[in-house]
Amino acid sequence: MGLRINDIVPNLELTTDHGTFKFHDWIGDQWAILFSHPKDFTPVCTTEFGAVSQLGAEWAKRGTKVIGLSVDSVEEHGKWKSDIESFASAKAEFPIIADLDLTVSKAFDMLPAEAYLPDGRTAADSASVRSVFIISPDKKVQLIMTYPMSVGRNFAEVLRALDALQATFGQPIATPANWQHGQDVIVALSLNDDQAREKFGEIDVKLPYLRTTKQPS
């Protein structure tokens, strides 16, 4: 069975271009994002990893670590990072997992258990390794996004989703469609109106089941 939201991520030993470490140790007490791609030196993925590099200050501002993954070697990652940095005009300071034996891809249900890499493989052989996992400090999966090879990931949306997850984590609130940081949030149905006002102050009752309030600071 694959990983689901609220599952604890497997504490695998990861081989990366930043060394070898256990996944949980690397996460520590921070938020983390694992983003994977099918192959180094491919055009769409170069733009994506470039976008991640350009957002370095934004990840840090949110207390979030990012880590990439592909089924290429540590040596290939090091060479490819030069291209990423040249394209993006930003340092690629995050580690990239070298998942040559597919252990991580299979553990995260990006590839079936029987998958293998053929000789002379192309990106199409690992096309499903194109996912984003946002992980909370308790090591649980909070969000999963999977994209086809033809669609580059929108990391502005990944940031927005991260903001929403951090805003609602452990709080009786949710975020509405198209929410951005600082906008009003939805009061959870677990609170009645009096409880909501006691906790948040003013609430806006738009419908009996749809009440909003200012985003808690």
Residue written as token pair 């992980």:
135
Q: From CA 163, how far away is CA 87, in angstroms rounded?
A: 27
- 134: exposed, middle or buried (Cβ count in 10 Å: 0-12, 13-18, 19+): buried
CB distance 131 to 108 below 8 Å: yes
- Helices (DSSP H) in the chain: which residue ranges? 23-27, 43-54, 56-61, 74-88, 103-107, 155-168, 193-200
Q: What is the DSSP letter of 140?
A: B
- 160: exposed, middle or buried (Cβ count in 10 Å: 0-12, 13-18, 19+): middle
Told to judge if 175 belongs to the known catalytic residues of this protein, a careful annotator would answer no
Strands 185-187 and 96-98: unpaired
Contacts of 108 (CB under 8 A, 6+ apart): 2, 3, 9, 10, 34, 36, 131, 133
Catalytic position from the list 9, 34, 45, 187: 45
Nearest to 84 by CA among 73, 68, 100: 68
Catalytic residues: 45
